[in-house]
Amino acid sequence: MLGNTAIAPALRAKLALPVLAGPMFLVSGPELVIASCKAGIGGSFPTLNARTPQILDEWLTRISAELDADAAPYAANLIVHHTNPRVEDDLALIVKHEVPLVIASVGNPARVVDDVKGYGGLVFADVASVKHARRAAEAGLDGLILLCAGSGGHTGWLNPFAFVNEVRKFFAGPLVLAGALSNGRAIHAAEEMGADFAYVGTPLIAASESMAEDDYRQMLIESCADDIELTAALTGMPANMLRKSIERSGFTPESSHSGAFHAEKGTENLRAWRDIWSAGQGVGEIQRIEATQDIVSRMAQEYRDARKASLERLSQG
């Protein structure tokens, strides 16, 4: 069995809720990270949201200065793929600021493990298949983030029950489950399924501290799970996108769930994330724009209620 069983309880002890915020391109910056950590969940952001390594250095300085020892730990998300020209620069800054948790995405995460473990940090990787989960566990990653069907951004496709069960056969370390975990009941259910933490993205786009534009937030409030279009047409990888933002840009999804678009014009100038917005299938839980603290407090209450209901069911036999 791979993985260290001591990590999840140690990390959980620093969190008010078993939740890590998912890093989101063009959405999560220092304000959201700081607000998340102060509210008691692990905040995170993609390093590429800072336009240059110099800005990243400033962000990391600010985040560390604003979070005291009681705050939840934060994470930087590093795209480790060889096509990211900033991998080495951003990694050097992560080491300089001793970022507590690094989330490695897209590519081989093994290259960052030694540097981050060298200062006592943790490295998690997000994975969408059992094969990649096994490879990451064998490379010595501390934790695995399982991207499942319905997740925002570049999504996974596996059913969460199947994915958690398979990975738990060989990995006993921290498992983070991603995909439409938008309320406290779902977070509790993720634990019951065998995960240690929920990875929450979409609900935090609507947080007042996110970098999202107001029109994006408003579209989230007006959308439900049926309004999420799974398509690889925009980035070459399967991603969940808000159908209304596709249509607003002059495109029409060919048919429900086909992933292809009709348009008079070409898609060349269309930029995913900037013009066409992403959200996961848990979008229906978003009712209003509110502070991260209020989102987390509501989830915490729902989580406590769900646990209580589970215990009552158990006590009734």
Ligand X SMILES: Cc1cc2nc3c(=O)[nH]c(=O)nc-3n(C[C@H](O)[C@H](O)[C@H](O)COP(=O)(O)O)c2cc1C
Contacts to ligand X by CB under 6 A: 22-25, 27, 46, 77, 105, 126, 147, 150-153, 178-181, 199-202, 278-280, 282
Report how far residue 68's alpha carbon sits from residue 62's, in angstroms, rounded to the nearest whole number.
Answer: 12
Nearer to ligand X, 65 or 283 (CB): 283
Task: Check if the beta carbon of residue 201 is closer than 8 Å to that of residue 22.
Answer: yes
Nearer to ligand X, 179 or 253 (CB): 179
Give, to the nearest 10 degrees, the angle between helix 53-66 and helix 30-39.
20
Nearest to 286 by CA among 207, 203, 181, 212: 203
Q: 3-state DSSP call for residue 126?
A: strand
- SS3 letters across 237-275: CCEEEEHHHHHHCCCEECCCCCCCEECCCCCCCCCECCC
Nearer to ligand X, 184 or 282 (CB): 282
* Residue facing ligand X at closest CB distance: 201
Amino acid at 313: R
Q: 3-state DSSP call for residue 14?
A: coil
Nearer to ligand X, 65 or 298 (CB): 298
Nearer to ligand X, 71 or 278 (CB): 278
Nearer to ligand X, 79 or 113 (CB): 79
Nearer to ligand X, 42 or 46 (CB): 46
Interior/surface letters 33-51, b for 16+ CB within 10 angstroms, e for the rest? bbbbbbbbbbbbbbbbbbe
Residues 6+ apart with CB under 8 A from 4: 142, 172, 173
Report how far residue 198's alpha carbon sits from residue 180's, in angstroms, rounded to the nearest whole number.
Answer: 10
162: its two tokens: 């199947």
Least distance between ligand X and beta carbon 32 (Å): 12
Least distance between ligand X and beta carbon 107 (Å): 11
